[in-house]
Amino acid sequence: MKDIAHNLLQSWPMPALPRPIAIIGAGGIVSDAHLPAYAKAGFRVSMIFDVDQDRAQALASRHGIPQVARSLDEIARAADTMFDVAVPPAAMLDTLDALPNGSTVLLQKPMGRDFGQARAIRDLCRRKGLIASVNLQLRYSPMMLAVADAVRRGLLGQIVELEVRLACRTPWELWPFMSSLDAVEVPMHSIHYIDWIRSLLGTPTGVQSLSVPHPDHPTLNDARTTTILHFDQPIRCALSLNHTYKWGPTHQDASILVEGTRGAARIGLGLLLDYPHGKPETLDIITEGENWTSVPLKGRWFPDAFANAMANLQRFGAGEDRELGTSVESSFDTMAVVEACRRASHGGGTAIPKE
């Protein structure tokens, strides 16, 4: 088992001829994840633009980006490049519309503010012929690539249980734009688990979901979620996500348990225990006839998953990969599940019978 654990797939192959990247947006996620990931993987960032020119210039100076564009039109004219569009959801549609037809683009998640905008983004990408992927990068993290490889090898058998549990503090204050969103937790956080679960189990047939606010975040419409995903298989899939636990490291949790008929995997989401700095991530696997084994992880969700997502997009655009894992078409299906969660939460649940 130790030999298998050491040889599980944990990274995406790099493109043979990486293309330079032009980044639109200079927010925290670009600083904390995109740029460190691209530097580590050897991708070259040729240009950056943000409506806040000072912020863009500061990032360019810190990371050695040779050019700061003065406008969206200027960066859209960048030759022989691909685009990393890391803007708030409300700005995504107009930003994509400004890019040349046929561009290769990585979109920051989610696909717009709501399901209607997601449909508009999908349709615009079709109309402009964009080779577009959404940065739902959890499935590309070393730990999740390893889990997917273990499933492919039959180590877990048929999956029958999948549970995600959080009891940690997410610093929602890092993203002020979230105060303007009608829904926060599912489209901005749960979406990662939903997309990863879809990559593992397929698209669910239905959902039960409830998102609620918290007094510590009075400007947010919600900050915590409980979701159950239904499948046409004997699978229990539940997400219990408390982002407002504030009682220190004792009893905090950020973990996923996947159980199958032949084995199980437990994933420790260390990044979330001290975001954005994070604790170590962990993966333990067991299969029939063997003991629990710790898988040595060769990287982290941040930044390695971002490099792997970019590698898949670049390889797909070059014809080296046959499948684009988080394509706009696939990500639209993820957004459909997000929308179902919103509707379920607003529905108020099944009424209690009076007698």
What is the phi/psi pair of residue 105, to 5°? -140, 135
Q: State the Cα–Cα distance between residues 21 and 9, nearest whole angstrom.
A: 26
Cα→Cα distances 207→183, 203, 253, 338, Å: 16, 11, 24, 9
Label residue 276 by pLDDT band (50, 70, 90).
confident
Q: Is the pLDDT of residue 277 over 90?
A: no
Mean pLDDT of the chain: 96
So what's the pLDDT on residue 263?
A: 98
Label residue 350 by pLDDT band (50, 70, 90).
confident
So what's the pLDDT on residue 234?
A: 96
Higher pLDDT, 355 or 39: 39
So what's the pLDDT on residue 271?
A: 95
Q: Is the pLDDT of residue 1 over 80?
A: no
- If phi > 0 it is left, if psi is from -120 to 50 it is alpha, else beta; for residue 190 that is alpha
pLDDT tens track for 156-213: 999 999 999 999 999 999 889 899 999 999 999 999 999 999 999 999 999 999 999 9
Cα→Cα distances 293→238, 283, 286, 296, 345, Å: 25, 9, 6, 9, 39
Name the nearest CA neighbour of 13 among 314, 300, 311: 311
Q: What is the dihedral of CA 3, 269, 161, 228, to 10 degrees?
A: -160
Q: Is the pLDDT of residue 54 over 80?
A: yes
Q: State the Cα–Cα distance between residues 341 and 207, nearest whole angstrom.
A: 6
So what's the pLDDT on residue 200?
A: 98
So what's the pLDDT on residue 279?
A: 95
Question: Which domains can be identified in the chain, with CATH numbers?
Answer: 11-137+307-322 (3.40.50.720), 139-301 (3.30.360.10)
So what's the pLDDT on residue 79?
A: 86
So what's the pLDDT on residue 136?
A: 98
Mean pLDDT of 9-17: 97
Q: State the Cα–Cα distance between residues 227 and 248, nearest whole angstrom.
A: 25
Q: Which of 28-32, 118-122, 217-221 has the lowest mean pLDDT?
A: 28-32
So what's the pLDDT on residue 351?
A: 87
**pTM tops 0.85, yes or no:** yes
Maximum separation of any 2 CA atoms in the chain, in Å: 71
Token reading at 126: 């079709």
pLDDT tens track for 129-138: 999 999 999 9
Token reading at 32: 């904390």
Q: What angle do CA 102, 104, 105 make, to 5 degrees?
A: 120
